[in-house]
Amino acid sequence: MRKKLLVLLAVASLTIAGILAAQAFAATKKVTIKDNFFSTSKVTIKKGQSVTWRWSGTTNDHNVTSSGHFHSATKSKGTYTKRFTRKGTYSILCTVHPFQMKMKVVVK
């Protein structure tokens, strides 16, 4: 009887862990950074979710900056993930190309 209970508890734990992992994965929006532009001009997420920016351009270094909130490294490859814990609208830009590369993250 105990063996069945332990197996049942193990299966339930794995099921819950899988559901939570799927929710966390779905909670991350992705934005591609290309040569002098973001792949989208606006992303809307819920409080507690994240945005991951992925560099895929070939010619220039870029960064992801929201004045007073966060600033990624300036680089030409890799990713940067930011979790948003407060509601609001965040203006994002690349400080290397501030007139060309702008977007917004809306956190509800």
Q: Which of 25-29, 50-54, 67-71, 76-80 has the lowest mean pLDDT?
A: 25-29
- Per CATH, the homologous superfamily of domain 28-107 is Cupredoxins -  blue copper proteins (2.60.40.420)
Indicate the pLDDT class of residue 24, thresholds 50, 70 and 90: very low
CA 39 to chain centre: 14
Residue 28 · residue 48 · CB < 8 Å: no
Look at residue 51 and tell me whether its pLDDT is greater than 70: yes
pLDDT of residue 21: 47
Which one-letter DSSP state was computed for residue 62?
A: B
- Structure tokens that stand for 54 in this block: 């992925």
> How far is residue 71's CA from residue 74's CA, in Å, rounded to a whole number?
9
Q: What is the 3-state secondary structure (H, E, C) of 72-101?
A: CCCECCEEEEEECCCCEEEEEECCCCCCCC
pLDDT of residue 54: 97
Q: Where are the domains of the chain?
A: 28-107
